[in-house]
Structure 1
């Protein structure tokens, strides 16, 4: 397997920023850190994605600044931020700042997840041009060099190379952007489809001159999957496994199962 497999399995939890007061979300982040989760993600939307679509909801990047300050060990980031919602140079500056806030005397802990956007209601209600799938991906391709360039220009510079996570599986545009810019590719594929997507990604890496060993494969198993099914993904090279929890009923048993499996396979 040519992708980055020389690392232990990590567990991410996407904590949906919906249907809860912020005090509950804050306490849940601390509990996830205490349990030993490796990465906590939120998302970059303006309305709930499940349940009451007009229910409680909070903005993602403001929240990440708070997580940077309140946590000590855990990595964190958006899964994923929408490229359309902010000027790329501003977004780079925001990420650099949040990363510094999280450093606590060492390196920062932000994982910079980014994608092209898809939630039509967010665009409509907040006044962004929705465009098309293709135009939004073209915008993302144009934004990534600007983001990296801004990181080079900022004073102070980021605390370290901020890892870039890109999500999605489009074979013509998305995986090319992943090959060019991502440290982590977040796949929504099942195990049967993942091998094909990896072959496509490897092809793009060859075209752009990227060493595939620099890219970590991230997956999001379904809630019903067993340890044997997690092993299918691991055998294909996945090393980051993420699950989502949401108020009002956080599924702590699912988090604990993933953590137990991680500890077993990592030895």
Structure 2
């Protein structure tokens, strides 16, 4: 819309110079063809006292106009990373963590909702801090968690949504020490063991946990496709070791089993040398 207004104004200003109108003495109405921008904070024609236009102090006038950038909000997992899914145990008070940021440095407030998948609201934590909220799910099922953020000038950012699975028993989580497998294959960690030599797969204990119980045992399936029922089991994660005797690329899996028999797992690959 601005471009069209600007072009129309330009044509109006150039017309008297290009046209052959002999009635140059006729009084013409004056028109203000300036195109302005307002961010909703008041009169955008104000000045700074030196005749220059008033601009947003956060952009120091670099843009030449008053602006307000939208803030962002993220829902976080246990490790502080943005997540798109929560798994929680019914009847257990759960902390839903979040983080918000504003490029202009404005103060922020956030709102959090838990909604049913088929529509309708279960819970709302109204506009307040952006650190997150606590809630105790009382019913099994699938839900959505929605985080909203707005700055002190009323600008809202894009909502952030994550799925929520309320379960009777949350499966444990297991992860591998990525420093031991600097390569990847098919999107998973790749190890390169020597044939007839023992290899131990190092579990990242700081990222292996059970939210609602305790881990009872570990299992490793060295050749999951070829021998899906052959595994090594131990209560000690340091015992996740094996020996390959043939060349190839093999899909492997480590499982963790909690005290209620829920299973978590991670897949990876071994290319024998």
Q: Select the structure that is richer in strand.
A: 2
Q: Same fold (TM over 0.5)?
A: no
Q: With structure 2 as the length reference, what TM-score do the two structures score?
A: 0.18
Q: Select the structure that is richer in helix.
A: 1
Higher relative contact order (CA 8 A, sep 6+): 1
Q: With structure 1 as the length reference, what TM-score do the two structures score?
A: 0.19
The higher radius of gyration belongs to 2
